[in-house]
Structure formats: C-alpha cells, structure tokens
C-alpha cells in the first residue's frame, strides 16, 4: 500500500506525469468541466472532500510555481480565499520557491480550465472555490 499522503490513484498518476508549466484545476462541486479535459471526481457529498483539504494534499505532492484564481473568489468567499492564501504561503516557506498569483474573471477562469491536464472536482459548495495550479520544478 502507498505510504505517502496521496492515496487516490488517478490523482497520483496526474501528479507523477506533470511537466513544467502543466496546469491542473482543483474545483468546487459546481464548476463546469470541459468535455476534452480529464475529470477526476472526488466529490462524495456536500463538502466532502473539502476544497482546502484537497489543496493541502495536492500541495504536499506537487511543486507549484503559479496559481490562477477568479477575482470573484476573494470578494464572494473571502474566508476560504484567505485559507488558500495561507496554504500557499506555507508552501512557499516549505519549498523556498516563490509562487506567483494571478487573478482573472470567472469567465476567463472557466476558459483557462480547457488548458488543464485534469480538473479535480471536490465536494466543496463555497462559491468560486476554484484554483488552477501551474506545475513548477523541484530543482
């Protein structure tokens, strides 16, 4: 049995095959997922798994160099947005690498998900709880 934090085989495969600048999206239960993008559906029920728990596990296994969020996230769901920023700060401290942050409109965000290698759907029901992670390198 796998010993590290990430146990889901689809997410493990995704993380292990990411290259520099590849993008993955972690989303709430309501974000539309483009047909041509791989869907990894973790949602079991409202709030399970949560967006922030999923983010923590992905960050524990993946080197991130950039983050894209919808502008609406900070305005409409400020508490969860702040939790995400705190996790990103912790990751920067752990890795010693800077993580750039970009805000775009929700409509632009939905368009950009089309470039993701996969979209990981959580059970989160907080509005705009979505993030695109851009993969970095560990060296």
Q: What is the CATH number of the domain that holds 61?
A: 3.40.1650.10
Give the total residue count for the chain: 139
> Is residue 127 one of the residues assigned to a domain?
yes
> Is residue 33 one of the residues assigned to a domain?
yes
Over residues 12-30, the mean pLDDT reads 97
16 has pLDDT over 90:
yes
Task: Report how many domains make up the chain.
Answer: 1
17 has pLDDT over 70:
yes
Q: Which domain holds residue 71?
A: 18-135
Instruction: Please state the φ and ψ torsions of residue 102, each to the nearest 5 degrees.
Output: -130, 140
> Is residue 4 one of the residues assigned to a domain?
no
pLDDT in the model for residue 18: 96
Q: Quick check: is 20 catalytic?
A: yes
pLDDT in the model for residue 2: 63
- Percent of the chain at pLDDT exceeding 90: 94
Residues contacting 52, CB < 8 A, separation 6+: 80, 83, 84, 87
Instruction: Dump pLDDT digits (tens) for 56-100.
Output: 999 999 999 999 999 999 999 999 999 999 999 999 999 999 999
> Is residue 36 one of the residues assigned to a domain?
yes
Chain-wide mean pLDDT for the chain?
96
> Is residue 1 one of the residues assigned to a domain?
no
Instruction: Dump pLDDT digits (tens) for 94-110.
Output: 999 999 999 999 999 99
With CA atoms as reference, report the closest residue to 112 among 11, 44, 24.
24
Local confidence band at 1 (pLDDT 50, 70, 90 cut-offs): low
Over residues 13-20, the mean pLDDT reads 96
Catalytic residue among 20, 46, 81, 106: 20
> Is residue 131 one of the residues assigned to a domain?
yes
> Is residue 130 one of the residues assigned to a domain?
yes
């Amino acid at each position: 049995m796998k010993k590290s934090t990430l146990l889901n085989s689809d997410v493990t495969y995704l993380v292990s095959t990411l290259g520099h600048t590849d993008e993955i999206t972690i989303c709430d239960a309501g974000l539309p997922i483009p047909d041509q993008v791989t869907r990894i559906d973790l949602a079991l029920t409202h709030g399970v798994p949560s967006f922030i728990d999923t983010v923590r596990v992905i960050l524990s296994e993946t080197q991130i160099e950039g983050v894209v969020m919808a502008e609406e996230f900070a305005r409409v769901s400020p508490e969860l947005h702040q939790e995400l920023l705190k996790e990103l700060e912790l990751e920067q401290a752990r890795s010693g690498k800077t993580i750039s942050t970009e805000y775009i409109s929700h409509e632009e965000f939905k368009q950009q998900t089309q470039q993701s290698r996969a979209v990981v759907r959580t059970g989160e029901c907080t509005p705009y709880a979505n993030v695109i992670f851009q993969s970095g390198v560990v060296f």
